[in-house]
Each structure stands twice: as C-alpha cells, then as structure tokens.
Amino acid sequence: MSPDGRPAGGDRWTQAPQFLRAEQTRGPLPADTDVVIVGGGLAGTALAYNLAGEGIEVLLLERSELNREASGTNAGSFHFQIAIHQFTERDASGSHDRLLREVRLLLEAARLWDALEDELDANLGIHRTGGLMVAETPEELQLLHDKQSIEAEAGLETLVLEGDELRRFAPYLAPDLPGATYCPVEGHANPFLAGPTFALRAVERGAVVRTGVEVTAIDPGFVVRTSAGEVRARRVVNAAGAWAGELAALSGIVLPIRAEGLHVNVTEPRKKVLEPLVQHIGRRLTLKQAASGTFIIGGGWPSRAEAPPARYSTIWESAAGNAAVAVRVMPSLADVRVVRMWTGVWAATDDLQPVLGESVALPGYFVCMAPTGFTLGPLVARRLAANIARGVPLPDEYAPDRKGVPWIERM
Ligand SMILES: Cc1cc2nc3c(=O)[nH]c(=O)nc-3n(C[C@H](O)[C@H](O)[C@H](O)COP(=O)(O)OP(=O)(O)OC[C@H]3O[C@@H](n4cnc5c(N)ncnc54)[C@H](O)[C@@H]3O)c2cc1C
C-alpha cells in the first residue's frame, strides 16, 4: 500500500496521465490485418487492448480523435443497481430471471473495474463512494424492496434504508424521502482517462491505432474502405457507438440502434458534503459531487440532435428539469448555480441489452456495444475478445441476430 492507503502502483497516483502521442495514431494504414475495429471509444479501445493481449493482429480506426464521443462525454458513473427502466421498459414475463442475469453481469463489471487500475497500471480516477437510489413515494419504496431482493439473490450487496435510518445516513437528502437503497460498490471513474489508457496499452501490446480515418464502406471479404485508403481484414468489429446502425448499413445490415442525445449540468463548487452517487428509482437523476466540489447532475435528460459536424445542443427544459429533480432530492442545491452544461450522444437499444457477438447473417462481422457502456464497456470488450480469439460463447440474449428480436436483419 502507498502511504495514503492506496494500493501499490508505483507513481501512477502522482504522475500526469500518459496517453498516445498524436504521431502514434497517424501514419499509413496496413494493407491487411486480422481484425479491424471501427470506433475509438471505450468499447473499441478496450477491445483492441484485449484482442492484442490474445495475440491477435488488430487495427482500430477512428474518424475523429479517440474518446471524443460518448466515452469522453459521459458522467462516469458506475450503475450497478437495477434501474427503473430495467423494471418497466420490457414485458414482465421472465423478468425475475432476466434481472438476475443483468445484475450478475453488472457484478462482473464491478469486479473488473476493481482490478482495472492495477491491470492497466494507471490511475483511472476510480472512486468507490457507494451509491444511493432514492424513492419519493410508497410505490417507489416497494420497488426498492423488490429490486433489493433480486440484487441479494444475484450476489450484489444493497440495503434498504428508511425513515430516520436514511436521514442519519444521508442528512443532505430531503427529509421527506421515504427510503433509498445503498450499494457500497457504486461510484465513478474518470471518462477522460479510461478509453485513452486502454488505447495506450493496446498499442504497447502491438495494436495499430489510426485516428482521423473514417470508414466509408465495408465490402464482403472484407475490404474496409476508408478516407485514407483500403484495408483487407479477416474480421470486422462495429464499435461505432451511436453510429453503429449507420456503419452496419454500409454492409447491408439493419442494426436498429438509436442515437440519443443526453444532457449534463455542472454547478459551481461548494464544500464537499455528498460522498455517494445519488440516483432516483422513478425519475431521471444521477447526482454526484466531484473532488473539486462541483455537482454533476445528469440521468438521461435529452439534448437536441444537430447535423454533423455540429455537436448536439442543450435544451432549456432539460437543464431546468434535471436541476429541479436534483433540488427535490437534495434541497441544499437550491442556491447552487449551474455554471455549464454539456451534451453527448449514446447508443440505445429497445431491450437495453448489449449487442455483442458475431452476426449470423454476415459471418466475420461482429458488434461490440453496451448501453450504460461506461460501466459495461471494459467487460463486454473483454468478453468479445475471448469470443473472437478462443470461441468462448456469449449469452444468446446479446447476439446481434438474437431470436425474436430483429436486431440485425440482412436487407
Ligand atoms: C451524456 C452521457 C452520459 C452518460 N453517462 C453514463 C454513465 O454515467 N455511466 C455509464 O455507464 N454510461 C454512461 N453513458 C453511456 C456511455 O457513455 C456509452 O454507452 C459508452 O461510452 C459507449 O462507448 P462506445 O465506445 O460504444 O461509443 P463512443 O464512445 O460513442 O465511440 C464510438 C466511436 O465510433 C466512431 N465512429 C463512428 N462511425 C465511424 C466511422 N464510420 N469510421 C470511424 N469511426 C467511426 C465515433 O467517432 C466514436 O468515437 C453516458 C452517455 C452520455 C452521452
């Protein structure tokens, strides 16, 4: 352990973070390779790192710079507790077993993040602050109890705090909130560090990363056509996030992933009072206080789509609505000023499951995508690498062509 109680790890806590230098991501494309990954977000960079670790020749292509889209514009929260949309947005049949599987996946992601700073020998800004999910009504409190029993069965530690117990534990919350679940392993990491660190380590393992290279067509075989020339590849992975559907269409594949714009508010700094991540079981809210004292308030409020290359723009109703929910939950925020906002675009699917694995319709064509993809990105990338390299099976429910859901249909 280091003197401040952190695990051993050399100078990683004090040194400036190390990233790829620009010249390491420029240069000619190889004529051929085994795997081409399209997309330099967390999914693509973590996959490149894991594939290179499996001894596979890999080329990652990013049209812009690494980590500029969802992976560098997210709120960095670890979402391990069952969220409201997991209860409500799909049919109820079999929901108990489905939720058990989903929580087990999240638990595996929690364990992976636990070991990641040591594995990558880098500071990823991981803070296990714990996470509270609050209820505002008796019905929501019942939902918290229901979800807690499933989480316990799956092996995720959460506990329901009610009344005075909650007020003692979290005096900053509105005193009339009837209850909350507390999950000790929740927290956050730094989105500016995770993807770029994976990219650096991938290159150290032999992966080739090229930025400023847009994939414009993928012909069967595969011939990957780009703004910087052609590459022959045995296999292709679509890790294009919100643009995965557009990319799949280049190969004649329909991949109904929705691009959704999201909004985040940031406040002026205040004395540190809030340690855990705070979410709401019934309304859109994630709330945390950074080490600098600023509050970061998000949770899925929309931003407005703009034509590329413009970034999505902010919406007043989202800024105000998001802030209002935060103040309802933590009244002392009422006089704290929002000083900036940002937007990002994430890939959403109707069943909120990852889309992970090889397309049956187009063998050799893989997809690597997880909604809640900051939490799950490193895990789905590791699992897909093991599948590509060693044939380790992936769950059927993530399959790009999964039965009963027209995720991918050959056109
Ligand atoms: C505002 C916001 C807040 C969020 N908060 C959280 C959170 O707190 N916790 C959490 O777990 N998740 C959160 N998410 C979701 C999470 O950020 C994403 O699920 C995750 O980052 C997706 O990573 P990705 O690599 O799949 O996609 P991206 O990071 O979007 O990467 C895809 C890349 O593909 C590139 N690309 C696309 N098309 C092409 C092409 N034709 N050629 C070359 N390159 C191409 C793009 O330029 C982009 O860089 C949030 C998302 C947003 C937007």
- Three-state DSSP string of 46-108: HHHHHHHHCCCCEEEEECCCCCCCHHHHCCCEECCCCCHHHHHCCCCCCHHHHHHHHHHHHHH
Q: Which of 110-114, 152-156, 177-181, 349-353 has the lowest mean pLDDT?
A: 349-353
293, 340: one domain: yes
What pLDDT is recorded for position 9?
A: 52
Evaluate whether residue 2 is within a structural domain.
no
Angle at 137 between CA 333 and CA 322, to 5 degrees: 35
Q: Which of 76-85, 118-127, 237-246, 276-285 has the lowest mean pLDDT?
A: 76-85
Most confident of 30-34, 91-95, 290-294: 30-34
Q: Please give the distance, rounded to the nearest whole angstrom, from the Cα atom of residue 201 to the centre of ligand 1.
A: 19
Nearest CA to ligand 1 atom 31: 41
182, 281: one domain: yes
Give the integer Cα–Cα distance in Å for 86 and 351: 9
403, 362: one domain: yes
Rounded mean pLDDT of the chain?
92
247, 266: one domain: no
Evaluate whether residue 3 is within a structural domain.
no
Whether residue 408 is predicted with pLDDT greater than 50 in this model: the reply is no
Query: Using one digit for the tens of pLDDT, what is the confidence trace for 275-315?
Result: 999 999 999 999 999 989 999 999 999 999 998 889 999 99
Q: Is 223 or 10 the better-scoring residue by pLDDT?
A: 223
181, 195: one domain: no
Contact partners, residue 53, CB within 8 Å, separation at least 6: 205, 385
Q: Please give the distance, rounded to the nearest whole angstrom, from the Cα atom of residue 203 to the centre of ligand 1.
A: 20
268, 338: one domain: yes
Burial degree of 264 (CB within 10 A; 0-12, 13-18, 19+): buried
Cβ–ligand 1 contact at 382 (below 6 Å): no
What pLDDT is recorded for position 111?
A: 96
269, 338: one domain: yes
What pLDDT is recorded for position 10?
A: 58
Residue 219: beta bridge partners?
223
Of 61, 67, 68, 71, the residue with max ligand 1 atoms within 8 A of its CB, to mutate for a pocket test, comes to: 71
CATH number of 400's domain: 3.50.50.60
Of 372, 380, 382, the residue with max ligand 1 atoms within 8 A of its CB, to mutate for a pocket test, comes to: 372
Which residue's structure tokens are 């392993």? Answer: 185
Nearest CA to ligand 1 atom 21: 71
Q: Which of 10-19, 136-145, 214-223 has the lowest mean pLDDT?
A: 10-19
CATH number of 288's domain: 3.30.9.10
CA count, 13 A, side-chain hemisphere, 375 = 23
- The stretch 269-278 carries a mean pLDDT of 97
Cβ–ligand 1 contact at 74 (below 6 Å): yes
Q: Pick from 304, 327, 347: which residue ends a domain?
A: 347
Q: Pick from 322, 347, 372: which residue ends a domain?
A: 347
Which residues span the domain enclosing 39?
Answer: 24-73+191-257+351-410
Evaluate whether residue 273 is within a structural domain.
yes
What pLDDT is recorded for position 88?
A: 59
- The stretch 1-26 carries a mean pLDDT of 71
- Please state the domain count of the chain: 2
Evaluate whether residue 355 is within a structural domain.
yes
Cβ–ligand 1 contact at 285 (below 6 Å): no
Specify the pTM.
0.94
Cβ–ligand 1 contact at 110 (below 6 Å): no
Evaluate whether residue 33 is within a structural domain.
yes
Query: Using one digit for the tens of pLDDT, what is the confidence trace for 184-209?
Result: 999 999 999 999 999 999 999 999 99
